[in-house]
Structure 1
Amino acid sequence: MAEQTAAERPTDVSDAPEVSDVPEHGEAHDGSLAARLNWLRAAVLGANDGIVATAGLVVGVAAASSARGPVLAAGVAGLAAGALSMAVGEYVSVSTQRDTERALLAKEVRELEEEPEAELAELAAIYEGKGLSPELAQRVAVELTAHDALGAHAEAELGIDPHNLTSPWQAAFASMAAFTVGALLPLVAIVLPPVSARVPVTGVAVVLALAGTGVLSARLGDADARRATLRVVAGGIVAMVVTYAIGSLVGSHV
């Protein structure tokens, strides 16, 4: 009998060690990398919020009062309020997401216990839909289920890693820290210079900082750096101009 070619041999796992749709350790690392990039992007956006919100606040107060005390008090209060608001908002958001994920995982555990064959068929169908042959999809589903049934089904069906759920407290502290770091720059820039120079110095510092966060966020998202930077800088300038105008108007009538 003539020797079978690779195309004629029955499909087997050993014949396709590099199938991209089969979860391997590399994919787990890719998922972890994506999660870290999302955290970094969220941190950059949190710092950007701190820069813009605090800059708008202190510039507005500086326009209404030439005294350093009210500006410093407003800036510190704004920093604290903004950081706590970010922390609470992130905690509530991530807690809600985690509660939903836990409910979905509990349902998946129940289905695996009550209908294991149906769940196995569902998992095999998912991999078959991604391009694997029926035989290979069934083999992959069987082996992944034997290794970690909940992990395999949760990742394929729900897009959830049951062993790596996001911590609400970690998210809250990260958001609070990012906002605080961003808010410190305009606060220091408005307090240290002489009265006549504090608004221009703050404006320049804020524009440079926003340009930096714009470039970084664009690179993290593989977007056009110039467009993203212009949007961020323009938004910060508009915020400072508007709050300065409001502060001047209020200050002249109080």
Structure 2
Amino acid sequence: MSADMVQIFSEFIGTLILILLGDGVCAAVNLNKSKAQNSGWIVIAFGWALAVTIAVYVAGINGPAHLNPAVTIAMAVNGSLKMSLVFPFIIAQLLGAIVGAVLVWLVYLPHFDATTDKGAILGTFATGPAIRNYPSNVVTEVIGTFVLVLGLLAFGANKFADGTNVFAVGGLILAIGLSLGGPTGYAINPARDLGPRIAHFILPMKNKGDSDWAYSWVPVVAPIIGGLLAVGLFKFM
């Protein structure tokens, strides 16, 4: 397997782990008869932070561990990734996200069957706004992803003991979730939202309802904008 293919596969498996653990904590909190049901936003924020930490460790063995199309595009524009890998990385991330979401469904299958709240089921897979206002929702996701990518670029400019930079990334995700996640659920990652939303659409869940495609463009477009803005600012720092 070529070096490029190894990196592409790392993006696939890393994003799979990210969604398995990230959407897994959403399932634990949202679904009926789960032992963690109603444990709240703090649990979700910490769960996602740890999901990112573990996924970056896994993917970082053989690749840059972007796990996020917005990060991949931003790093390519910044010159940290060759352009020929952008599209393969994004496809791998999206496929990994779909597979990870399907695995969450398998883990929690009896709980999905026991849940009739369509919003709770969709919220296990994809993000949605607390108040639907598309301009505001876009601004929120732009700012959240701006902080994410700016933080990643700043980490790259600092020195860490081997392996410890991943904890800084996890802390960054936790900070974004706790401080900026309330309005939209902080997708800050097109694959994180679109892949599981596709899984929600195709999986045979009796109470799943609509996949809310009307909102789906926000967590795809806005994070890309936020990442590019962060790269633009970082060039002046």
TM-score, with length taken from structure 1: 0.28
Which structure has more RCO (C-alpha within 8 Å, separation ≥ 6)?
Answer: 1
More helix by share: 1
TM-score normalized by the length of structure 2: 0.29
